[in-house]
Amino acid sequence: MTEQSASNSLDGNAAAGPFTDVFGFDVSTVLVTCGGCRASAVFAEQRAFLGGPGTVLRCPGCDHLLARVVQTTDELWLDMSGSSCWRFPLEASTA
């Protein structure tokens, strides 16, 4: 598999599945703040890179690596060092 360029990247919708492995629920609507440029966007609207190694989430504004999940045979590895804040909405949507 070739590496995805920014122009053919997916968005966070496609990365939500692998992240349920660590969080236990769908994180599509979580507001993620970039540790690089401080922009915030919901998980679904971040940029996603699949196919390995692991599932990578990047900031669509500055391309900073926000988070990644890698599964090995005996470990699930979560790196969130590139994001400064995750805000989980608890109220039901009224939109």
Partner 1 sequence: MTETPLRDRGKVGGPRPRWLPARLAGLRSETGTARTMTFDVPEWPGHQAGQHVDLRLTAADGYSTERSYSIAAPAEDARVSITVQEVGTGEVSPYLVENMELGDALEMRGPIGGWFVWSPSPEAPVEQPILLVAGGSGVVPLMAMVRERARSGSRAPFRLVYSVRDPGQVLFAPELAQHAQDEGVQVDLVYSRETPKDFARPAGRITARDLATPPDAGWPDDPPPRAYVCGPTAFVEHAIRTLLDLGYTNHNIRAERFGPSGG
Q: Output b/e per residue, 48-72; b: 16+ Cβ within 10 A.
A: bbeeeebbbbbbbeeebbbbbbeee
* Binding status of residue 73 toward partner 1 by CB under 8 A: no
* Binding status of residue 72 toward partner 1 by CB under 8 A: no
Pick between residue 22 and residue 65 the one whose CB is nearest to partner 1: 22
* Binding status of residue 7 toward partner 1 by CB under 8 A: yes
Identify the residue among 22, 25, 76, 79 touching partner 1 (CB under 8 A): 25
Give the C-alpha separation, 57 to 18, whole Å: 11
Residues that bind partner 1 (CB under 8 A): 1-2, 4, 7-14, 16-17, 20, 24-31, 39-45, 51, 61, 88-95
